[in-house]
A and B are shown apart, each in its own frame.
Chain A
Amino acid sequence: MAAAAEKTPMMVVVGIDDSEHSYYAIQWVISNFLSVHGTFKLAIIHAQPSPAYAVGLSGTVGFFGAGTADALPYVESDLTKISSRVIDKAKELCSANSVKDVVYEVIEGDPRNILPEAVEKYHADVLVVGSHGYGAIKRAVLGSVSDHCAHHAHCSVMIVKNPKPKH
């Protein structure tokens, strides 16, 4: 009958992007998961898409239709702005819920690689992802990044699904 008190803090990594699914995931984890486990450390990782990656998504996201090399510097600064907005929002959610032991990181690159790497770096016990992110293709029941993480992260994976109907 181990006492719940003296546990080593659980390391939870949450991967987020600039989508409602991500903020919902943060809120869900805080309300339902962290409130049970006494001691935890949280790392919120935003994978900032590299400009080429973002431009590749331009069909669904609508950054720049043309996607020429000239556009890349503008895309870069746009992305950086988005990243800081994402992190600010995450910080808001955490402080509103009195979550103290949390670090925030923005890493540039493909989230499919970044998140499993972050798991290794932080020795995470759990990786939390939303079910969909940015380029939410309507047909997909699970986003490609979430799917990839479920397969490749070396720790338990929590996929938080947003109950709102897909629009």
Chain B
Amino acid sequence: MAEQESGATAEQAAAKMKAEEEGMRVMVAIDESDGGLYALSWTLDHFMASSSTLARPRSLIVFHAQQPFQQFVVPAGQGVFVSASVTDSMRKAQEENSAHVLARAMKFCEERNVIAETLVMDGEPKEMICQAVQQMSVDLVVVGSRGLGKFKRAFLGSVSDYVAHHAKCPVVIVKPPKEDH
């Protein structure tokens, strides 16, 4: 391979070439919100465009975190308890939800002729995203700016903020198109 004298340090050039061989892993984290889906379409448009023209392959992972359902405790009568059947049905509903979210996402990818893997993890989304970045050696993680907590005054949701701080790879925070402001 030709050595490029790019003004970057030798280390950087070597790292670049190594990365070129390995391909770039891009992960988009989505939830049920439109922001997540928009982040995905942004990634597809700007990062995954016609891989054939790229020197190095790119792979896309669509990530979804299922929040622990201990939160959905149903008060009933005197005490607060969660019966086994309630837990089961909550779990089932959550899985259906995740399946629906991912199905929507995969359809987006298909429409643009992009092959993507999906990954679902159980836990707090912000922590799970960062964990997945490390476990899957992700090179770039993309998140929407705001999720389900549509607190309009905040320009940056708590998950995006956490990921921006703690992810060990470059982060893109995709803000909704201007019309939404």
Known interface pairs A92-B7, A96-B5. Does A157 touch B165 (Cβ–Cβ under 8 Å)?
no
Q: Are B8 and A27 in contact (CB under 8 A)?
A: yes
Known interface pairs A96-B6, A157-B175. Does A31 touch B113 (Cβ–Cβ under 8 Å)?
no
* A35 partner residues in chain B, CB cutoff 8 A: 54-55
Cβ contact of A36, chosen from B4, B15, B47, cutoff 8 A: B47
Is A106 at the interface (CB under 8 A from chain B)? Answer: no
Taken residue by residue from 33 to 58, chain B's Cβ proximity to chain A (1 for < 8 Å, 0 otherwise) reads as 00000000010001111100011000
Known interface pairs A32-B140, A156-B175, A159-B170. Does A37 touch B49 (Cβ–Cβ under 8 Å)?
yes
Taken residue by residue from 141 to 166, chain B's Cβ proximity to chain A (1 for < 8 Å, 0 otherwise) reads as 00000000000000110001100111
Known interface pairs A151-B155, A156-B174, A160-B170. Does A97 touch B47 (Cβ–Cβ under 8 Å)?
no
* B47 partner residues in chain A, CB cutoff 8 A: 33, 36
Is A69 at the interface (CB under 8 A from chain B)? Answer: no
Number of A-B contacts (CB under 8 A): 88
Q: Are A96 and B4 in contact (CB under 8 A)?
A: yes
Is B106 at the interface (CB under 8 A from chain A)? Answer: no
Q: Are B7 and A89 in contact (CB under 8 A)?
A: yes
Q: Are A154 and B140 in contact (CB under 8 A)?
A: no
Q: Which 5 A-B pairs have the closest CB atoms?
A: A96-B6, A4-B49, A142-B165, A92-B7, A160-B170
B residues adjacent to A (C-beta < 8 A): 4-8, 12, 15-16, 24, 42, 46-50, 54-55, 111-113, 139-140, 155-156, 160-161, 164-175, 178, 181
* Beyond A150-B161, A157-B173, A159-B171, 10 extra complex contacts between A and B, CB < 8 Å: A10-B46, A23-B8, A33-B47, A35-B55, A36-B54, A93-B6, A97-B6, A147-B164, A156-B174, A156-B175
